[in-house]
Amino acid sequence: MTDHVTAWLGAYHDGELRGLRLRQVETHLAHCATCRAELERLRALATLLQESPAAGDLTPPERFVAQVGLRLPRRPERPTWQRAMEIGWRLAPVGLLGAWAYGQAVFVVTGVVMDALQMGLGGDVVAGLLPVSQQRLWLAEVFSLSNVGLNDAGRIMLRMLSNGGPLGWGVMLHLLLSVVIGLLCCSWLASWWARRQHRQQI
């Protein structure tokens, strides 16, 4: 048998192997004297390390605890505003999620209402609420009044611009809100990660 499992013997010795890898090592060990000898050497090393003396009894536990107690610094009381900031920081993701959900709801409801109005479902009373599409096209009107010569492509571009882009102002605002909330979420995650790393550095 040539494919020795030397690299996995340490993990096997420590009881860290599971499933297929464990069975593979066990099967190999049953047939390979070299790896069995290697495993024995690992066990011998573990025994040697375990037998080496520990630190021994130096300071009695009670005295050690008392000494630590005497050296403990006074933990500074955090001011109220700092605690409030901490709570605010923890609640920030909830706030961002709420803002995003609110934006979504407004966008959907506005879309539904606008579609209903455009189909004339609201009657004459509410027809006045319809967006004045002509106002959106003010830029195009200005250009047409001033007789500025534009080719077809230019006119299409102008129309798109005056409508707030290819998707309209509503969609653009919605996208902007999503991007801003996304950026704020990323900043919060970066800040969370930095705090976590700081805790690891103790």
Q: Which residues bind other proteins (CB under 8 A)?
A: 7, 10-11, 14, 16, 41-42, 44-56, 58-59, 61, 64-65, 67-69, 71-73, 75, 199-202
Q: Identify whether the C-beta of residue 35 lies closer than 8 Å to the C-beta of residue 6.
A: yes
- The smaller minimum CB distance to other proteins, of residues 83 and 155, is found at 83
Output the smallest distance, CB 162 to other proteins, in A: 54
Output the smallest distance, CB 59 to other proteins, in A: 6
- The smaller minimum CB distance to other proteins, of residues 68 and 119, is found at 68
Q: Measure the CA–CA gap between 154 and 147, rounded to whole angstroms.
A: 13
Output the smallest distance, CB 193 to other proteins, in A: 13
- The smaller minimum CB distance to other proteins, of residues 56 and 123, is found at 56
Using a 10 angstrom Cβ sphere, with 0-12 exposed, 13-18 middle and 19 or more buried, the burial of residue 12 is buried
Cα three-residue angle 107-110-113, rounded to 5 degrees: 150
- The smaller minimum CB distance to other proteins, of residues 45 and 139, is found at 45
Output the smallest distance, CB 46 to other proteins, in A: 6
Alpha helices by DSSP H, listed for the chain, are 6-13, 19-31, 33-51, 61-71, 80-118, 123-127, 133-136, 138-145, 152-162, 169-200
